[in-house]
Structures are given as structure tokens and as C-alpha cells.
Chain A
Amino acid sequence: MLFHTWLFVLFFLIVYLIYLVLKRTRFRLFWLLAVSYFFYACFHPLYPILIAYASLVDYTVVARMAKSSRGKAWLFVSIFNNLALLGFFKYGGFVTDNLNLLLSSLGISYAIAEPGIILPVGLSFYTLQSMSYTIDFYRGNIEREKSFIAYAAYVSLFPRLLAGPIERAKSLLPQLHTTPRISIQDVTDGLSLFAVGLFKKVALADYMALYVDKVYAAPEQFKSPALLLATFLFSWQIYFDFSGYTDMARGLARMMGVRLMLNFNNPYLATGLGDFWRRWHISLSSWFKDYVYIPLGGNRHGKLKTYRNMFLTMIISGLWHGAAWTFVIWGAVHALGRFLTRELEGTSFYKEKVPGLVKQLFVFALVTFAWIFFRAENISDAWLIITRLFSSGLANPYCPLLALTLILTVWLYQFIYESAIRWVLETRAVRIGLVVAMIMYLVVFAKSSETPFIYLQF
């Protein structure tokens, strides 16, 4: 049951109306939890058991931690449990594949059987969220949550269950405890966010996917312009897809009186890779900063160790995205790009002489190059694409001009949004005109499909 389907609209209408009735009663959290588990069960009837287990362990761990002097041991239990869940469901196949490769390279004919486990949707997101609660409690940043219902609702809240944002307990739990005061503005804000997210996903991301999927499915059949164009379109597809999902998630939550964090902030206007990661998947990058990069030492022990920490963080982030070497390389490319832009940012020439637009294009080119590893089926495909990008000659890429026009329009919108003439976009006529145009485009022209969000596979 995906956000951009009619079934979800029907589901939400029912859930929301009952939520409004129950919002001042003690049944509100029960209702939130019940519908979140039901929502999750729509993907697989056993998924609620898994999330209930993950929630119960961390809830119990913190309860024990509060009463025990052996906080570190209990923290270890929580981290171990969450990583074990991730390891079992997400990395089982990856580990066996690599072990088998190692065995065969050693001339050993024995092969370990593939576990054949399906990764439960949302697992990567809610394990991080749950883990952040135990770590924050251990650090003394938050108080213990006494109600299991509230804690389980925090972990499973359906608007953000599938792909985030990865919320911190400090921000979300108090909101769940407070009786929501849902104003008309909350509802209209929610609708605005949802409308933009829906447009990004259905009208833009799914459109780009048509071209990208065709080229990336058989890169050997395409020449340099088509590969370049497909990679360029994928940069926008993944942005529209994931930020569209997040906008919808935030919109739904806002209608329910819950504010989720901003997860994307026009990332392709970033002027450095550091800036990019402050704008792209903000909830994940801040999670890795707080729970991986800083514990590793952050930037406190000199340049070399800072870069080492950045590199490790990006590699782990890559692995978090997917259990494949392509994601590890994607993380490494980002780390190297981060070193490069950080060094450049240290020079007065780059800081003062290079125009902002050039920096933006440079960062966009770096990020787009890294996406090749993210999107390619495997390393050999990624390598094939890169070599063919430079050596396969020219041919008509049959580039849909409408897709490029749409991208240019969005980019221009974002550019103006961050410029001095932002007021143009703030005028009532422009805002209303945009929403009407988006709705009419969606209804009349958009592709009719139920394509899942890209990030559901992580």
C-alpha cells in the first residue's frame, strides 16, 4: 500500500477521520499503533512481528539500563540486536556470495547455500531510529519512555515507517505524548506537502525511470550520449522519488499534528559535498554524523584522522544503502569527493573567485558520477557504463525533451527559491497556479502505475 495509490488514499481517509475523533482520548496512541502495524502488515503479514520484536528489545534494554549500572552492556545488547536484524535480513546474501567467491578462489569446491531471505521494507530505517533511542538514552540526552505503546508508535509511525525520515526520540516522542492541536493550517500544509510529493513521484520520478531503466538494463546497447543522459536523469529520478516520498510522509504526519524533520533541501544547489550531505537525506546523514562519525573522532584529531573518519562513515553509509560492492564504491566516491571539495573550499581562489553556479555544477557532476555505482546492477555494469561514456562514440540518445523541460523547470524553481527574487514564488497567484498545474498534469498526463519508491529496497 504505497502513498501514491488510491487504496492508500482510502486507507488514510478512514484512519484520519477516526484519529480526529480519538485525538483527545487515551486511545489515540493505540489507534496510531494499530493502524501503523496494519499498514505494515499490508506488505507482509509477518512484518508487524518483526517490528514489535525490535521495539520490545530496545524498550526493555532502556528500561534495564535505567535501573542498572551496566549501561554499556545493555547498550551493546541493543546495538547487537539491531545490527543482527540488519545483518540477517539485509546482508545474509551478500556475505554468503562473498564467502563463496573466496572459497572458489582458494580452489575449494564447497559452496554455502544462499539464505534467500527477503529484506523487510523499512527495516533499515526503523532499526536506525530505534538504535538512536537507546544510544541517546545511554548518553543522557533523553529520558526513558515509560509507555511501550508510545515507544512502539514512535518506531512504527506509518507515514515514516517505510523510508523515514529517521526521527530522533527527542523530537518525535514528545509530539506523540502531546494531544495534537490540529489547525486548518496543519491540514492545508499537509495537503501542500503531499501534493508536491505526489507530483515529484508520479509525474517526475516515474517518468525519468522509463528512460533510465531502459538504458541501465542493457548499457552495452547504448552509446555515450544515451548513457550520459540516463545517468543525468537518474540523478533527478532518485531525488524526485525519495524527496517525493518524504514530502508525502511529512504531509500525512502534519495533517495528524506530527511534524517530521526536513529530509531534503534542494540538494542539487549544493556548492560542496559537505553542503550536499546537509541537504540530501538529512535525517540519515545527521544520524551517521552523530552515531558514527563523531564517535569515531570526528574532525578532532587532525586532517588525516578526519578524512579517515569521513571515509569510514561514507563506506558504512554506502553499505547501509545496499548489500553490494557497488554501494561501497558509491560511498568511497562520495568520501573522495568530500576530501576534494573540502580542500578546494580551503583555498581563497575557490572560495572567492569561482562563481556559485560553477560550484553547483561541479558538485552535481560529482554526485551524478557517483550515482552510476548506485544505479548499476553490478560493478562490471558500472565499469562498462563509465568506459562507454568516454569511448563508445556518438549516437542520437532519443532524449525526451519534455523530461528535460520538466527538470529545467524544477531546477529553475529551486534556483529562484534560493535567490533574492524568491518573493516571485511566494505570490499567491504563482503558488495557486502551480498547484492547479500540478494537479491537472497528474490527472491528464501522468503515467498510470504503482511503481514502488526506490528507497523501499534499502
Chain B
Amino acid sequence: MNRSDRRETMELEIPFGSNCVRLSGFEWLIVAVVVSALFYCVPILWKHIEKLKPGPDYRLPYSLSDDYWLFSRYCQWACSREKTLVIGDSVVWGHYVSKENTLSGYLNEVAGRHKFVNMGVDGIHPVALAGLLRYYGRDITDKDIILHFNPLWTSSKKHDLQIEKEFNFNHPKLVPQFVPNIPCYKVSSSVRIKSVIERYISFFSWTSHLKRAYFENPDLPRWTLEHPYENPLKNITLQLPASDGYNWSGHLPWYEKGVTKQDIQWVAIENSLQWRFFKYSVELLRKRGNRVLVLLGPFNEHILQRGSINTYRQMKKKIEAWLKQNNIPYYMPEALPSSMYRDASHPLSEGYVELARQLFKSAYGGSD
């Protein structure tokens, strides 16, 4: 029996399968072309179908904080206009205030026109922000930017993502998946590879957008368990959630909420992962031709015990030295009055008013 005979016999003995899904090379080529076309076209078409019309003081909906495809769209919108982008975490986003009472909202009020755009993302920390800007903020070029650094992210080894014990931190898809190693990030290699793929193929981030915007849960199957008799397609209303905020309770300053003074064990800035990635973000934005102004804090120093304040001030000096050394414009305000803070880093509305006034005066000399 020669080789081809043996092969033929084997073909007869071992059936291919129990269905007709058997494609030839040419047919797989057609599949590849069709799927690639869908991958390329659907996200583009979707932008025309699902309208994103940010009104004054718009910010990304709280429920879509980790919808990076939407962030990317929002970036495109903001960058196509003569706007100054205010980028940062929940302090910029305005975790405890409505969208009009945020830093960008008050900057617009002081400026007398809608020049400042709230590009804050709730829960984002500098390591994740670097990933967000690198992969989803590619359109941010040649713009005026206020980039906020919240010292809270260096207030403990846990905040700085330097502990060994695994915990759920925000925006894990945006942090480096392989190098440098983040010790508390212990997901499987497959999850890491998937995150990397999602950064480069916008179709995948579009599917995440679809799930987050219309199915509450991360996937359709789980959604159907909760809505067993509903047509999932009907849920795609093409209406994005409102730009509302976190459902905060009350408008009380930190000390009236029972928060006591804290002894914070700051991570040395030269060893801080969060600071290292913040510096990376500054350099990345500058490389892309943006004019970056760094806003540091203002952290609620009233919440700190004496030892912590001293360490904090030394840290500020080191940050200032680096900014000066690299000719990066910055504004480093003194702490706001204690009653203007909701917690360690978030101002209340009055705090944002004061901060906007100071920042506008310092950075723009009172006129833009």
C-alpha cells in the first residue's frame, strides 16, 4: 500500500465530522475577508448610528468609566475642536459633584465660555491613565492640556500597586500586562493577551462598549439570565446613558462624615510606580505635540497627621524639582480650606470653584 492509498483508506475510516461546516482554503479566505471587513467597518458605521453629542460640561457617564472605545470617540470629538482638555482621575471627573460643578465646569464659568473639556475618568490611576492615553487617546495631539496628578495614588503601597497580595484595582485592562510586572495583578496570561489585543483592534473595544452601554453586565448570556424573555436586540436603543455622576450621599465635608486624621505612609516618589507612569504620560503627551500643564493636588492636608504632612511636602518638592528640570509648566496650589473637601482628595463644589479660580489666574493670568 503506497502513501496515497494509505491516506485514502484513512479518509474512509475516519469521518471528518458530524456536520457540513467544512471549508476549503478559498472559502476560509472569503470568511477572512468578510470578518476583516466587519471588524473594520462596524465600529466606523456605529459612530454614525449611535450619536455622541457632548453638551456643555459633558463628562463620560459614570457607568461607562471603563468604556475605552467611548473615551476614544470622546477624544476625537474634543480634539476636533479648539478646546483645552482637562485630564485626570475622579478629582477631575467630579466624583461627588454634578457635571456643572466640576473643575472644568468652573473653569468654563471663569473663562466665560466653554473652552475646557472634562476628560476625567472615574477611578483611573496614573498607571492606567498612561495606558489610556497611549492606546485610546491617540487623537490627542497638538492640544492644550491640564493633566492632573492626584498624590493619593502614592499614599500607600497598595495605592501604588506594589503589594504582593492580589486585589481588584480599577481599570486593570489599561495597566502593563507583562512588563513591568505589577505584583498584585495576578490574572491569567490569556486575560492579559486579550487585553493587549483589545488595545490594537478597535472592534474588540467596540464589543465591550456594546456590552457596557446596553447590557449592564459584561456579556450577553448573563444579561439574558436576568431578562429571560426580552429581545436583546431591542435593548440596543442607541441612546447612551446620561452624563450623570456617582450617587453620592450628602454634601458634607470629610470631618462631618466621621473621617478622622490619618497617618499616611507615603511611598517614596522615586520608588513609586504611579509617579513613574505619570511621568510617562507627561512625556507621551508632549511627544505628541501637546502643551501640558501639570496640576498637582490639592491634596487634603487637613486630614493628615503631622508626620504625614512633612513627608507629603517633601514629596511635593521632589515632584516640583522634576517638573522644573524638564521645563514642564505646573500649578501646585496650597491646600484648600478643610471644609471644601469631601475626603482625602476630592473637593466639594466650593473647592472646585476656588481651585478653578486659582488655576485660571495662575495659568492664564486671568484671561485665556
Contacts and interface: CB of A to CB of B under 8 A. Distances in A.
Interface of A: 5-8, 10, 171, 174-175, 178, 181, 184-185, 187-189, 191-193, 195-196, 206-207, 210-211, 214, 247, 250, 259-262, 264-266, 398-403, 413-414, 417, 422, 425-426, 428, 430-432, 434-436, 439-440, 443-448, 450
Contacts of B21: 192, 195-196, 431, 434-435
Nearest to A9: B193
B28 A266 contact: no
A20 B15 CA distance: 24
A7 B188 contact: yes
A206 B224 CA distance: 13
A435 B30 CA distance: 10
Contacts of A184: 24-25
A388 B358 CA distance: 70
A181 B7 contact: yes
A175 B31 CA distance: 31
Interface residues on B, range: 35 or more
B104 to A, nearest CB: 34
A262 to B, nearest CB: 5
B207 interface: yes
A401 B6 CA distance: 48
B221 A445 contact: yes
Interface of B: 3, 6-7, 10, 13-25, 27-28, 30-31, 34-35, 38, 188-191, 193-194, 197, 203-204, 207, 210, 218-222, 224-225, 228-229, 232
Nearest to A435: B31
A206 B7 CA distance: 36
B19 A196 contact: yes
B17 A193 contact: yes
Nearest to A179: B3
Nearest to A193: B17
Given A402-B232, A445-B220, A436 B34 contact: yes
Contact of B219 (A211, A214, A446): A446
Given A210-B225, A428-B27, A264 B194 contact: no
Q: Which of B13, B21, B38, B229 has the most CB of A within 10 A?
A: B21
Nearest to A10: B193
A185 B25 CA distance: 7
A445 B210 CA distance: 9
A210 B18 contact: no
Q: Which of B3, B22, B188 has the most CB of A within 10 A?
A: B22
B38 A440 contact: yes
A5 B190 contact: yes
Instruction: Report the 4 A-B pairs with minimum CB-CB distance, sorted nearest first.
Output: A5-B190, A6-B193, A400-B224, A445-B220
Contacts of A444: 207, 210, 220
Contacts of B225: 210-211, 214, 398, 400
A6 B190 contact: yes
A280 to B, nearest CB: 11
Given A210-B225, A447-B221, 17 more contacts: A6-B190, A178-B6, A188-B24, A188-B25, A189-B22, A193-B16, A210-B221, A211-B225, A400-B228, A414-B19, A425-B19, A426-B20, A431-B27, A432-B31, A436-B34, A439-B31, A447-B219
B38 to A, nearest CB: 7
Q: Which of A181, A188, A193 has the most CB of B within 10 A?
A: A188
Given A400-B224, A422-B20, A431-B22, A450 B207 contact: no
A188 B190 contact: no
A432 B23 contact: yes
A175 B10 CA distance: 10
16 contacts: A171-B13, A174-B6, A184-B24, A188-B28, A189-B22, A192-B23, A195-B21, A259-B14, A264-B18, A266-B18, A399-B228, A422-B20, A432-B34, A444-B210, A447-B219, A448-B219
A401 B17 contact: no
A191 B21 CA distance: 10
Contact of A447 (B20, B188, B207, B222): B222
Contacts of A425: 19-20
B130 to A, nearest CB: 23
Contacts of A211: 225
Q: Which of A5, A184, A402, A440 has the most CB of B within 10 A?
A: A402
A10 B220 CA distance: 26
Contacts of A206: 221
A206 B188 CA distance: 18
A417 B228 contact: no
Contact of A178 (B3, B22, B210, B232): B3
A9 to B, nearest CB: 8
B121 to A, nearest CB: 22
Nearest to A203: B221
B241 to A, nearest CB: 20
Q: Which of B3, B225, B229 has the most CB of A within 10 A?
A: B225
Contacts of B229: 401
Contacts of A428: 27
Given A206-B221, A425-B20, A431-B27, A450 B188 contact: yes
Contacts of B22: 189, 192, 431
Contacts of B190: 5-8, 450
A444 B223 CA distance: 14
Contact of A185 (B24, B31, B218, B222): B24
Nearest to A445: B220
Nearest to A263: B18
B18 A417 contact: yes
A262 B38 contact: no
A402 B228 CA distance: 8
A402 B31 contact: no
Given A417-B19, A431-B20, A443-B204, A436 B31 contact: yes
A207 B221 contact: yes
Nearest to A417: B19
A365 to B, nearest CB: 22
Nearest to B11: A259
Contact of A439 (B3, B16, B18, B35): B35
